[in-house]
Amino acid sequence: MASLQDQLLQAGLVDKKKAKQVSKEKRKQQKVAKKSAQPQIDETKLAAQQTRAEKAARDRALNAERDAAAQQKAIAAQIKQLVETNRQPYSGETAYNFTFDKKIKSIYVSEELRDHLIAGRLVIVVQGERFDLVPRVIADKIAERNAEIVVKPAETSAPVDEDDPYADFQIPDDLMW
């Protein structure tokens, strides 16, 4: 079947020159229409993309929470292993008092262990309701992971106030309180 243009040419209603001119104009209009045409946005595709983006954000947040929980669990396991392998057994009749969580606690140790605690060679680490003694080097490693469970030794050198009436009186190290 011949096109309308061919039929008009055969009937003699249009000459070849006029037919070429009309087809050129038609192509120009199609090119201009293509360039200026805005791509039509499909609402369902847009909604699907938005849903995928929201799901991806939720998944990233859940993964971050899982990673944080796994990290905390790994740190707790490392701390437990450090304490278990480096724990110093203690028992004795001398009470050693210290502050933990704004409360005064006491453990009973031998005189030798008490001297090490006072000197800072041994440090107390709290795990639940249990107090363990570990060497200072190990306590520093534990404090890097979780500083809240390490009982800091009492500082013996406090700043001296010039107007202090008791500045001349030294507090003995073996004072029991």
What is the predicted pLDDT for the residue at 36? 65
If asked whether residues 55 and 135 sit together in one domain, one would say yes
Question: What domain range is 75 assigned to?
Answer: 47-156
Total-model pTM: 0.56
If asked whether residues 73 and 124 sit together in one domain, one would say yes
Distances (CA, A) of 71 to 27, 63, 65, 66, 85: 65, 12, 10, 8, 21
If asked whether residues 58 and 144 sit together in one domain, one would say yes
If asked whether residues 95 and 133 sit together in one domain, one would say yes
Report the distance separating Cα 44 and Cα 89, nearest Å.
69
If asked whether residues 60 and 86 sit together in one domain, one would say yes
If asked whether residues 147 and 87 sit together in one domain, one would say yes
**Contact at 8 Å (CB) between 91 and 75?**
no
Q: Does residue 86 form part of some domain?
A: yes
Residue 100, both tokens: 């933990």
If asked whether residues 115 and 149 sit together in one domain, one would say yes
Q: What is the pLDDT of residues 143-167, one digit of tens each?
A: 898 888 888 776 655 555 677 777 7
If asked whether residues 18 and 78 sit together in one domain, one would say no
Report the distance separating Cα 90 and Cα 131, nearest Å.
10
Q: Does residue 69 form part of some domain?
A: yes
Q: Does residue 39 form part of some domain?
A: no
Give me the number of domains the chain comprises. Answer: 2
Q: What is the pLDDT of residues 112-138, one digit of tens each?
A: 998 888 888 899 999 888 899 999 999
pLDDT at 50 over 80: yes
What is the predicted pLDDT for the residue at 60? 95
The continuous run of DSSP H or E covering 104 comes out as strand 103-109
Q: Name the average pLDDT for the chain.
A: 83
Q: Does residue 161 form part of some domain?
A: no
Q: Does residue 163 form part of some domain?
A: no
If asked whether residues 20 and 77 sit together in one domain, one would say no
Kindly state the average pLDDT of the residues 84-101: 88
> What percent of the chain stands above pLDDT 70?
87
pLDDT at 22 over 90: no
Report the distance separating Cα 119 and Cα 112, nearest Å.
11
Q: Does residue 169 form part of some domain?
A: no
174: nearest Cα among 100, 102, 95, 104: 95
DSSP states of 59-96: HHHHHHHHHHHHHHHHHHHHHHHHHHHHPBP---SEEE
**Contact at 8 Å (CB) between 139 and 123?**
yes
- Residue 41 CA to chain centroid, in angstroms? 39
